[in-house]
Structure 1
Amino acid sequence: MTGASCRRSRSSFRRLPPSPDHRKPTQVPILAMTDRIKVLIVDDIPETRDHLTKLLGFESDIDVVGAAASGAEAIQMAVALGPDVVLMDINMPDMDGIATTEQLAVKCPAAAVVMMSVQGEADYLRRSMLAGAREFLVKPFSSDELTGSIRQVWTRERDKQSRIVAPAAAAAGATAGTAYAAPGTVVAVFSPKGGVGRTTIAVNLAVAAASLGGRRVALMDASFQFGDVGVLLNLNPKNKSIADLTSQLETGELEELDSYMIEHSSGVRVLLAPSSPEQAELITAMHARRVVERLRAEHDLVVVDCPSSFNDATLASSTRRT
């Protein structure tokens, strides 16, 4: 396919008549005017942005709040506008849709991404989901598929937030005026298979919990050999990591733990993995257990990103004493 024909296919959308062969999205009821879905469109082709804007302009429950021509512009606009849903084209110069989605998951976690692509191969779908996309649409798609996907994604995210906010509000009211009345909750994110998005899930969970407010959230990178939490959050573990605490961990004294944690702009306090794999050998199961217990005592939620292998340190990081 030539470059010109590829660009034409990327910007082509058409309304398809109902037929037995055409996949229909699950019907989602149209919302009241007070519940308009804020949508940000991201595509480097002006004609596509204009077409999508006009197409969604006919929907009474959808409000297009902006249109970005690049990944960098999309991130800037998402932070400023706070969209509910981001329509993201996967093929963009400089920063593609997958890289942009990964950054949005950290900087604007409340925005649900619907990825759009002319490629329908499983690899594109897998990479999009690992980056944090909630839906994947193959171009050309019908207006019914587009609006149906937007409503489904928005409904799922709204329901998920309501399930999180209610317990958080109750907990905040019960513990108002007291500091760490009870140990926090430990959530260990683990998968025996690598490359499935374990670290992305752990980071997104911690950032989303911190965004609710009223909670102290810690994120511990327990993948001591090849931790990626620092990469996803753009934090440098060179001078601050769990490996620097080994001397204190031997004695059980963790007086300087706070000084080795890095506070991310989201409010999450992060304890990074060592910067070099050989330092991982210094960390024992006892060390990992003591760190988790200390973090639990000082935080409402502790998210632990575990490695994709079972060892004593992994088990110690993912289990706790009650």
Structure 2
Amino acid sequence: MKARQELTTPSGEEARPLRQAQGRHLRVLLAIDLEAVSDMQLLMGELQAGNPYHLEIAGIAREGTVVYQDAVEKGADVVLLSPTIPGYSPEVVQRLYHYEEHPILTVALVPTVGDWAVTMEKAGAMGHLTTPLSPESISRLAAMLPPAVRDAYGYRTSDKYVPRLSPEVAQIVDRGGWRRQTVAFWAPSGGVGKTTLSVNVAAALGVIANKRTLLIDTDMNKGDAHLLLDLEGEEKNVYALAKQLVTFGNVTPLDVKRFLTPYRRSNLSVLIGIPQTWMASDASLAGEQGMRLIKNLLELTEPAYDFIVFDLGQTYNHPVHLTVLQQADLIFLVVNSTVTSLYAGHKALGALRQAGLLEGDRLRVVVNKYHPRHGISRREVQDALEGLPTFAEIAAGENQEVTIALNDGEPVVLADGKAQVAQDILQLSAALYPPLADIRELQAGKKSGFLERFLRLRPSAGSGHRSGQAFGG
């Protein structure tokens, strides 16, 4: 897990205010609870005109529902936000950061009691100050804000930034032409990148496209998809849900929701896999009970989500794997351009056909980590898989980007969207949700005023975070 950085006073170049070099101080919006009279008085006194901090008060917001509007209208660079302000919602932190013109940073003003600091920083706050405030805490804040703002601006202009579309723009982009689907990523051999693909496709749909997406890790060999998202799953996981089904005889939508883990402040939720391999043979996941779990789970979740993405283990005869393969709208068979992977894929096709799982044109071949210099041609890949055409091809040679993203606990489509492997995965995701192609075009053209032209060219709506560096205080 990433550790939160403490608020410390920088020195040298980092202490130079970003706005000062441009002849303007950083503008701060105060969104503080009415009862925090002493804090408000201190801020008003310390940040009055001519203060040495190079900060100026942009305004005061008394309601959480108007914080975003006030920050935009008053040209704020930073919002000092108390979670106890009436109408506060964590979503405002992300809205501020993803403001189209420039990032507006949030610093949480939190009491010493409770976990507000953790929850607000998870929502995207750049850091926190504990209340009651003191002149020293304001001095630390003033020292840290310029480099934090500079870093946020730098990240915004980088290729790694993933903007969040407003609901209005999302309606224009989403012209229909897609349907809700349950998809399964499956490979009969290990090490082909099945989990990497399932996690990244889920992130593309749930974070970039902002569609309601559920990633379910039902790999009965190992449950590690959550590690690629930097999530913890010791208590809330598919095994714990299965045990509840056995204990109480049934589960409700509310029961399922309690076992899900949200990914940041996005529309992606995760049902984490088994934390120990022995759990796959437990009575709650084996035999009829395992089949019942998957059927009940889909019955309860399919109405609530636009996309459900399963990460499956290698063995197709485990009842959990088999039931998912039977129930999924699409099965992505993941192979590599290696003899062992293609041999396993060839053998699996026979077993799947015998089980009646190849009916209805549900199978799609995804060749992951492909490179023509590996010695196996595209034609040979197709011949090995009984003539099935390749639905998607993910380029090899970008393992550095994937490895860095994996170790950082972030999908590569979010961490390095310009990398070829990320582009290939986004193209695969766009096959499920075609408006993703428009969203990617929006992102690419953001700096050149593409959004304005996009809205002008599409006047009618159709049918159908990364946060910056955090610091503590």
TM-score bucket (shorter structure): 0.3 to 0.5
Q: What is the TM-score of this pair, normalised by structure 2?
A: 0.34
Q: What is the TM-score of this pair, normalised by structure 1?
A: 0.48
